[in-house]
Amino acid sequence: MDARALIEFLRVAARLKDATRHCWTAGGRQESVAEHSWRVALMAMLVQDEFPDVDIDRVIRMCLIHDLGEAVTGDIPTFVKTDADRVVEGREVDALIAGLPAPWPDTLSALFAEMEALQTPEAKLYKALDRMEAIQSHNECDIATWLPLEYDLNLTYGAKDAAFSPYLTALRAEMRRDTEAMIEDAKRKDIAPE
């Protein structure tokens, strides 16, 4: 790859290290988009034995790039993201990857199209893991960082995305149990919203 093209791409992608997400870490600071993407990719690597017919390398690639647009737009939580936001993010991704030498623009465009369509086992796995990483992050942080709507959202978010796989359904159910325990603890401490 051309050194200058790689450096310029990395310069923009590095913004994901500073782009904070809605989620907080267990240590009490806002999580970065880069940290989220890394852990989604790690999850994909660790569950690969559960999906022997899935191209896990392709899934990991999806996990690593899925939020590239947020290097320019910043994080917009899914519960407030609009179609207009998605159009802007898509346009920014297209502009970012267009600066890369061949074959990368076509390769990455194809991955983004596959992720958007959610038809392949790889895209479905990436999306389910993306959703569940957010749930796991919420389950690890101080519940005081949650918005009131997240008490319900954390119970249901990602369940439909996981439904295609018995393994993911069971994993999502375990995460839900953790969420329920957190909410019950918050109620006992009288810090849960009404």
CB proximity list for 31: less than 8 A, separation 6 or greater: 20, 21, 23, 24, 25, 137
For 159-185, give the DSSP string: HHHHTT-HHHHHHHHHHHHHHHHHHHH
Contact 130, 63 (CB under 8 A): yes
Please give the domain boundaries of the chain with CATH numbers for all domains: 3-188 (1.10.3210.10)
Summarised one tens digit per residue, pLDDT across range 87-143 is: 999 999 999 999 999 999 999 999 999 999 999 999 999 999 999 999 999 999 999
Summarised one tens digit per residue, pLDDT across range 31-87 is: 999 999 999 999 999 999 999 999 999 999 999 999 999 998 889 888 889 999 999
pLDDT band at 194 (very low <50, low <70, confident <90, very high): low
Q: Cis peptide leading into 103, omega within 30 of 0?
A: yes
Inter-CA distances, 179 with 70, 139, 150, Å: 27, 6, 10
Structure tokens at 57: 């390398």
Whether residue 1 has pLDDT greater than 90: no
> Rounded to whole angstroms, how far apart are CA atoms 160 and 40?
18
Residue 1: alpha-carbon gap to chain centroid: 27
Question: What local confidence, expressed as pLDDT, does residue 53 receive?
Answer: 98
pTM of the model: 0.94
pLDDT band at 158 (very low <50, low <70, confident <90, very high): very high
Handedness of CA 107, 112, 117, 118 (dihedral sign): positive
